[in-house]
Amino acid sequence: MDLLPDLWRQEYWLPPGVTWRDLEQLPDSERPRPKDLLITLPLALGFVAVRCVFERFLAPPIASCLGVKNRLQVSAAPSPQLESYYCHRSKQPTQVELVSLMVLCGKTQRQIESWFRVRRNQDRPSQTKKFAEAAWRFFFYLSAFVAGLTSLVNRPWFWDHRECWRLYPIQPLEKAHFWYYMLELGFYGSLLLRISVDVKRKDFKEQVIHHLATIFLLGFSYCANYIRIGTLVMLLHDSSDILLESAKMFNYGTGWRKTCDSLFVVFAVVFLVTRLVIFPSRIIWTTLLLSMEVFEPFAGYYFFNILLMVLQALHVFWAVLILRMVYKFLKGKLEKDERSDEESEADLEEEDKAKEEKTDPGGDCYWGKTCCSPHSCTSTDQ
């Protein structure tokens, strides 16, 4: 019962010598209060609803303009036994399991392996779905970056990071920065709500860690009135995310290779500079060292900086992927995002095999498959 009061002990959130009463010197309209964060919950649900409308009505015409087309898809033949096994047991049965399925279905091993291969390909997200997701994130990051830059460019702490701690914690919260925080928190909350249905990529786990670390970091910085440094962290991250999502959009289109390559080069430069140079040398340096010119380290100081270090570790992880992409790009072999869809190269091999099997009706693996285009589905019973 005493856990909640203990959580808000000022020693955890504020530097030595600073109390919650010090923050109360600010007017209510200019003081960050923990209960304000409750507004992020309806905002997250609102973002989910707006995104559904965007992906349903706005993304398709934009995709058409860029020539986004879904691949011709081969569908697995109906098989209740295999479908049940696929959904409830395993999508990639072992050799022992294959033997059991052969007895159960009366099919050869090659036929069953083919069925599972084609069935896995059916679950791969379509190009239009991936485009809609990238477009939604692009428009949010662009809007957030423009709004954030507009609200910060004339503020002293944007240019002189020592201003982030001047007169701390008696720093009034501006209305623009209040909404900047709430909307960013609501957006990242919506990403977590949608994570089970969004396109899964190689760095799925890292993305979850990133979203959670960002939410905790923004939530803590708001309650402890680290607003100034928090706004800089958000602006820095949005700057490169815009380029990443725009490059994806053109990558999914047809005839935009040069545009995509150009955006990728710019993105790689901006990401490496902002995440590996500016973030550690300006942001972490400010919170780790400059802040101690004003107050002594305390529990919140360590917690906040640990979260920044987690983000920096993720930056290094993604920088490695980007440098691999740059290497392939320079060799002329870059075909897709290194952190692209879940099964990546294995998926491409399976798709190629499925196409070969579809055109080989004499093989014993050609087992009543169905070929579905994005607009029609024609069954061919063999």
* Contact between residue 12 and residue 300 where contact means Cβ atoms under 8 Å apart: yes
Question: Long-range CB contacts (< 8 A, 24+ apart) of 80-89?
Answer: 81/105, 82/112, 82/115, 82/116, 82/119, 83/119, 86/116, 86/119
Residue 37 in this model has a pLDDT that exceeds 80 = yes
Residue 372 in this model has a pLDDT that exceeds 90 = no
Neighbours of 91 (CB within 10 A): 12
Write down the pTM of the prediction: 0.83
Q: What is the pLDDT of residue 122?
A: 85
Residue 299 in this model has a pLDDT that exceeds 70 = yes
Share the mean pLDDT of the chain.
86
Residue 301's alpha-carbon distances to 214, 290, 306, 372, in angstroms, are 16, 12, 9, 56
* Contact between residue 242 and residue 380 where contact means Cβ atoms under 8 Å apart: no
Q: What is the pLDDT of residue 266?
A: 96
Residue 382 in this model has a pLDDT that exceeds 70 = no
Neighbours of 316 (CB within 10 A): 11
pLDDT in tens, 78-125: 999 999 999 999 989 999 999 999 999 989 999 999 999 988 888 889
> Mean pLDDT over residues 158-182, rounded?
95
Residue 190 in this model has a pLDDT that exceeds 70 = yes
Q: What is the pLDDT of residue 340?
A: 54
Most confident of 49-58, 108-117, 204-213, 371-380: 49-58
Q: How many residues does the chain have?
A: 382
Task: Please report the beta strands in 17-77, taking only residues with DSSP state E, as ranges in sequence order.
Answer: 73-75
What are the structural domains of the chain?
Answer: 12-65+128-331 (no CATH), 80-123 (1.10.10)
Can you say whether the dihedral through the CA atoms of 283, 289, 295, 300 is positive or negative? positive
Report the candidate in 91, 109, 128, 96 with the shortest Cα–Cα distance to residue 346. 91
Q: What is the pLDDT of residue 5?
A: 62
Torsion angle (degrees, nearest 10) of CA 55, 61, 66, 67: 100
For 79, half-sphere exposure in the C-beta direction (CA atoms, 13 angstrom radius) is 26
Residue 151 in this model has a pLDDT that exceeds 70 = yes
Q: What is the pLDDT of residue 376?
A: 35
pLDDT in tens, 176-188: 999 999 999 999 9
